[in-house]
Structure formats: structure tokens, C-alpha cells
A and B are shown apart, each in its own frame.
Chain A
């Protein structure tokens, strides 16, 4: 059960992190995978199903960039809808994590007594 909650939490957070990363700059799959998954502790492969889902939800768009070495590379960019979703989720997350922090701080004060 705890495991299930953790995985769900991570999946939700991963989407928010992808939105955050793309809100700064357009980037490609390997870059997203290597920068995000390690810290959160998810397999790098989970990025691609997530990117496909986000693309069909209309949160991100793609375009190809010619590469000097090898095949052209697929870049992801945030759509307007994605940007709106990012702002909304960021606000939600900030409020949520502040509330959890406050509770944890209270608990540790209580424990010190």
C-alpha cells in the first residue's frame, strides 16, 4: 500500500517536473530522462510513455531538429495549455508541500518536548 502511494506520488511529481523543465527551455528525451528520473527514483524508460501521454493530452508538442551526427532529434516544447497546467500545478504543489512541511515541523517540535 505504502509502495503504491509512493509510486503514484512519484508519477504525479514526474509530470510536474517535466512541465517545469520544459517551461525553461525546449529539450529532448534523453536530456529529460537523465535530468529528472535519477532524483525521483524512477526508471528512465518511464519518461517516454509519459511524454506520449502528455503529447496526446495536448500539454507538449514536438518538432524535429537536424543533427550533424546521426538522425534528426525530437525536441519537446510546452504548449499554451501545458503552460497553464504548469502554473496551476505549481501553485497546488507549493501549497501542498508548505502544508506538509508545517505538519512535519510541528511533529518534530512536539517530539522534542
Chain B
């Protein structure tokens, strides 16, 4: 493999990372080739010693995704952490997928219920006293307030649940990256 092939495959594997990070990583390997050349090694020798660019890219991507979630804690970082783990693409991740979808469904349901509860509470609180003549206005306002508070509470619980799940996945991804991946690759190369 030539320097150009190696860099091209690495670049392709790193697609999706911030351009600055990609440029930084590629510069590391470009410099490595240049240093190898001044030490009298051919491009093919240096490329062989570096190892498989696809595997290096997977490792760099997964690490970057997990780091971002740890640093930012926002929904987009959570998504990139999830994709980083899925990107490792091993069999046990496929086994994990139905569980992930189920957890995602439950959390989505909770969020929808929270929004609905909040909305209904707000309507009861504001419009209730004018529409319903049979019940005292104060009771309706308090009941509406209760529903709004319940909705907010459920929303917070669902948020805490989402954060917990992403943390668990990050932990799992790390474990996978550090323990299982090298083992699988080592077996694959035998």
C-alpha cells in the first residue's frame, strides 16, 4: 500500500468527525510517512508497520464519539456516542440493538406522556374555570397545576433515564473497545 492509499482509506474511515480533528489525525500519519522516508524506509514498509487503516479509523472514531458525550452531555453528543458504539459493528452490538430500540421506545413514550400531561394540565388550569360551571374555580386551577407539575416531573425522570442509558452505553462501548475489539481483531488476523 502506498502513502496515498493509506491516507485515503484513513480519511474515508474518519468521515463524520469534525474536520479539524480529521486534519489533525491525518497530519500525524503524514508526518509519520515523511519521517519514515527520511529514515530510509519505503512507503509500503511504513504502511505495513502502521497496520490496517480501517481498523485505526474505527478505533479513532469510537474514541472520539465517547469523548464527545463525556465532554458535552447534549442530545447530539449522545447520538454520536450511540453511533460510535454501533460503528464498531460487532455481533454483540447487534444483540444489543433490540434492547436499545426497546429502551428508546419506552423513553420516547415517557416524553410524549409528559408533554401531554403538561398540556392537559395547562388547559384545565387556564380554561377550566370558564368552561366547567359545576366545580369550584379554585379546585380546577389546583388540579391543572397538579397535572402540569406531574408532567414536568415525568419529563425530568425521562431525561435522567436517557442520560443514564447513554452513560451505560458509553461504559459498554469503552469496555468493548478496550477488551473485545482487540481480541476479535487478533483472532480475525490469524
Number of B interface residues at 8 Å Cβ cutoff, please give it.
Answer: 29
**A residues less than 8 Å from B60 (CB atoms):** 48-49, 52
Closest to A12 in B: B178
Question: Is there an interface contact between A11 and B178, defined as CB atoms closer than 8 Å?
Answer: yes
Kindly state the separation between the CA atoms of A37 and B51 in the bound complex, as whole angstroms.
12
Within 8 A of A (CB), among B11-50: 25, 27-29, 31-32, 34-36, 39, 46, 49-50
**A residues less than 8 Å from B35 (CB atoms):** 28-31
**B residues less than 8 Å from A74 (CB atoms):** 27-28, 31
Chain B 45-68: CB-based contact to A (< 8 A → 1; otherwise 0): 010011111001001100100010
Q: B56, B180, B182: which contacts A48 (Cβ < 8 A)? A: B56
**A residues less than 8 Å from B190 (CB atoms):** 3
Minimum Cβ distance to chain B for residue A95 (Å): 23
**B residues less than 8 Å from A44 (CB atoms):** 32, 46, 49-51
Question: Is there an interface contact between B51 and A3, defined as CB atoms closer than 8 Å?
Answer: no
Kindly state the separation between the CA atoms of A37 and B183 in the bound complex, as whole angstroms.
18
Kindly state the separation between the CA atoms of A73 and B25 in the bound complex, as whole angstroms.
13
Chain B 147-190: CB-based contact to A (< 8 A → 1; otherwise 0): 00000000000000000000000000000001110110011001
**A residues less than 8 Å from B34 (CB atoms):** 70-71
Question: Is there an interface contact between B183 and A45, defined as CB atoms closer than 8 Å?
Answer: no
Question: Is there an interface contact between B25 and A43, defined as CB atoms closer than 8 Å?
Answer: no
Q: Does A8 contact B (CB under 8 A)?
A: yes
Minimum Cβ distance to chain A for residue B38 (Å): 8
Kindly state the separation between the CA atoms of A4 and B11 in the bound complex, as whole angstroms.
28
Q: Does A40 contact B (CB under 8 A)?
A: no
Interface of A is mostly: helix
Interface size, A (range)? 20 to 34
**A residues less than 8 Å from B28 (CB atoms):** 29, 48, 51, 74
Q: Does A105 contact B (CB under 8 A)?
A: no
**A residues less than 8 Å from B32 (CB atoms):** 29-30, 33, 44, 48
Question: Is there an interface contact between A45 and B56, defined as CB atoms closer than 8 Å?
Answer: yes
Minimum Cβ distance to chain A for residue B61 (Å): 10
**A residues less than 8 Å from B179 (CB atoms):** 4, 8
Kindly state the separation between the CA atoms of A11 and B179 in the bound complex, as whole angstroms.
10
Q: A28, A48, A53: which contacts B29 (Cβ < 8 A)? A: A48
**A residues less than 8 Å from B67 (CB atoms):** 56
Question: Is there an interface contact between B50 and A30, defined as CB atoms closer than 8 Å?
Answer: no
- Could you list 20 examples of A-B contacts with CB < 8 Å? A3-B190, A4-B186, A6-B186, A7-B186, A8-B178, A8-B182, A28-B35, A30-B35, A31-B35, A43-B51, A44-B49, A44-B51, A45-B53, A45-B56, A46-B56, A51-B28, A52-B60, A56-B67, A71-B27, A74-B28
B: residues with CB less than 8 A from A are 25, 27-29, 31-32, 34-36, 39, 46, 49-53, 56, 59-60, 63, 67, 178-180, 182-183, 186-187, 190
